A and B are shown apart, each in its own frame.
Chain A
Amino acid sequence: MLTNTSTQRKTYYEELREKGYSRRDFMKFCTMIAAYMGLQSSGAAQVAEALKTKPRVPVIWLHFQECTCCSESFIRSSHPIVADIILDKLSLDYTETLMAAAGHQAEEAMEKTMKEYYGEYVLCVEGSVPAGADGVYCMIGGKSSLDILHEAAEGAKAVICWGSCASNGCVQAAKPNPTKATPIHKIIKGKPIIKVPGCPPIGEVMAGTLVHIITFDTLPALDGTGRPKAFYSKRVHDSCYRRPYYDAGMFVETFDDENAKRGYCLYKVGCKGPSTYNACGIMKWNNGTSYPIQSGHGCFGCSEESFWDNGPIYERMVNAGGFGIEENADKVGLVALGVTAAGIAAHAVATNLRKHKLVEDLIAEGKQSEQELKKD
């Protein structure tokens, strides 16, 4: 797995031909991935050109606090070339999950890549880094993940944060975050960082992000939080096939009602689609088979920051931090309204007592003037 990384760097196309892919397969892949990346039709040719002429980009793929679902998602992207082109032999110089080497051999391979391709390799990070207790919660080969990350990031051309763990900490960073799980952008400064959040992110989104870097030698256009705009500029809600039910005000009230059977909008049973930016509604999952909403379950909001702390999954609720689990904004608001009304009532009573003379004088004055007026 690690032998042909250093000698002469073949192009992606050469490697694929050696693996037995036809040119037709190759062109199909280029067209598909260009479409996913949101390129115009000539983009497919650009992708093909780049993969044919450019030597492969060395990649180091680190795994920290995570469940490997990002890797799993990646190797299941719809076109087999995706996995082959990036993962299988070609590019991956180091990844705990899939490399053949182990122990010192593996660590050596990483060091070799870091030295040989200093400033050229792309560092992909899956998982967050526990900053608590000097990083002892995640140690690999006797080194803390924090040290490994700093070491690996130094010579990286760019850092890609795979998944919500690396992008925003995900479940291990949920309150109270006992290991102080920290997303990559809070540790690494001064390097271009791309966040590809999701739990996991869609395989095609991951592939599209890498292919963009390979094709254009630049980072894809990023949004305000550092996510590629091509995949994260629309809400799940805005590309949802159930959206017409939302606009028509036809909602699932409970998961076992008639409306759920009819496939109405899941807004009221806690769907986070309206506040989640991702491409699920368009690309879908498992070769475009389905996605959560299509299978009758609301969106989790898994690509949004701190989605584990964003209130209950099955309720459309504005949670009330510090007011207890069962409270929401409206309950607290109603109590405040009651208190205000009681305060006003008390104030009104007090006014009639304390300002009695003032009011009496006004009334007396008014009545006196009334008396002085001529009768009709």
Chain B
Amino acid sequence: MNSTTVSQKPHLLRRVFVWELPVRYYHWINAGCILVLIATGFIIGDPPAIMTSREAYSSYWFGTTRFIHFVAAYIFLFNFLFRIYWGFVGNKFASWRNFIPTNRQYFLDMWNILKSDIFMTKGYNVHTIGHNRLAGFIYFLTFIAFGIQCLTGFGLYSAMSDWWLPNLFSWVPAFFGGDFMLRTIHHWAMWFFILFTVVHVYLVFYHDYVEGHGEISSMGGGWKFIDEETFEKNKEKKK
């Protein structure tokens, strides 16, 4: 968390390996799943009126849409579980500590990010290497949303399956007061994902535009390019 002033001489940039390959895989699988789940979810919630004179046995498009939704949901769940695991074994930028506030400094840093990037107070230009604290905390909220969607989704699905895994969720409908309530929560929570995606994509462009550290490409190659100055300041002190 450093305020840097822009010097006139060209920046020397240092390549830092931020997002490990599993993190990048997780990110894009997650993104793909969410897009598929939202698209199919909308269709399931309000199917388009397709008029046909065919008999029902020769068509199965709605069943297929639901099937795709369920497959994507399984991938989403396992991908999410993997990410939780990686939060304990991955590098410092992937650690769970980025997401869950454990001390007062976390909130102070969050406040600084708010001042720098949202309110754009003069003199605040906070450059972070991995997740900034505000982003990290919002990802924590998305993890909670992931959990809600998995609970309600597999809760709705459990009565349709004999497999033990979805049946682990068979307590959910009773807990939330019936399938109707589950459906309502599931549908509402989806809008969080849509809003998140829009803001998330915008902010990636924003950071790349303002900081020039390769924010957009970092989720492709895993690299970010940070100022030598920032690097030196954040470097671990040699013992």
Contacts and interface: CB of A to CB of B under 8 A. Distances in A.
Contact of A306 (B11, B177, B206): B177
A336 B184 contact: no
Interface residues of B, number: 53
Contacts of A235: 159, 179
A132 interface: no
Interface residues of A, number: 58
A368 interface: yes
B120 A329 contact: no
Contact of B120 (A245, A310, A350, A365): A350
Contacts of A354: 120, 122
Contacts of A333: 188, 190-191, 194-195
Contacts of A359: 209-210
B56 A245 contact: yes
Contacts of B122: 354
Q: Is the interface of B mostly helix, strand, loop or mixed?
A: helix
Contacts of A253: 49
B157 to A, nearest CB: 12
Contacts of B62: 246-249
A223 B209 CA distance: 56
B195 A329 contact: no
B57 interface: yes
Interface in A329-347: 329-330, 332-333, 336-337, 340-341, 344, 347
A218 interface: no
Given A318-B184, A354-B120, A250 B177 contact: no
Nearest to B195: A340
A129 to B, nearest CB: 20
A74 to B, nearest CB: 24
Contacts of B78: none
B163 interface: no
A112 interface: no
B24 interface: no
Interface string B158-198: 01100000000011011101111111100110110011001
Nearest to A350: B120
A250 B187 contact: no
A333 B198 CA distance: 13
Contacts of B159: 233-235, 238, 277
A330 B187 CA distance: 9
A91 interface: no
B159, B180, B188: most-surrounded residue (chain A CB, <10 A): B180
A341 B63 contact: no
B209 A250 contact: no
Contact of A275 (B63, B183, B190): B183
Interface stretch (A76-84, A120-128, A148-156, A266-274): A266-274
Nearest to B6: A361
B184 A248 contact: no
Contacts of B102: none
Interface in B179-234: 179-184, 187-188, 190-191, 194-195, 198-199, 202, 206, 209-212
A199 B209 CA distance: 61
Given A249-B47, A250-B59, A275 B180 contact: yes
B105 interface: no
B125 interface: yes
Contacts of B212: 362, 366
B216 to A, nearest CB: 14
Contacts of A305: 177-178
A337 B194 contact: yes
A251 B198 CA distance: 33
A351 interface: yes
Contacts of B210: 351, 355, 358-359
B179 A276 contact: yes
Given A225-B178, A330-B45, 17 more contacts: A233-B159, A238-B160, A247-B63, A259-B51, A267-B47, A275-B180, A305-B177, A305-B178, A310-B181, A337-B194, A348-B202, A348-B206, A351-B210, A354-B122, A355-B125, A357-B6, A369-B10
13 contacts: A244-B57, A248-B58, A249-B47, A267-B47, A268-B47, A275-B180, A275-B182, A275-B183, A316-B46, A318-B184, A329-B187, A355-B125, A355-B210
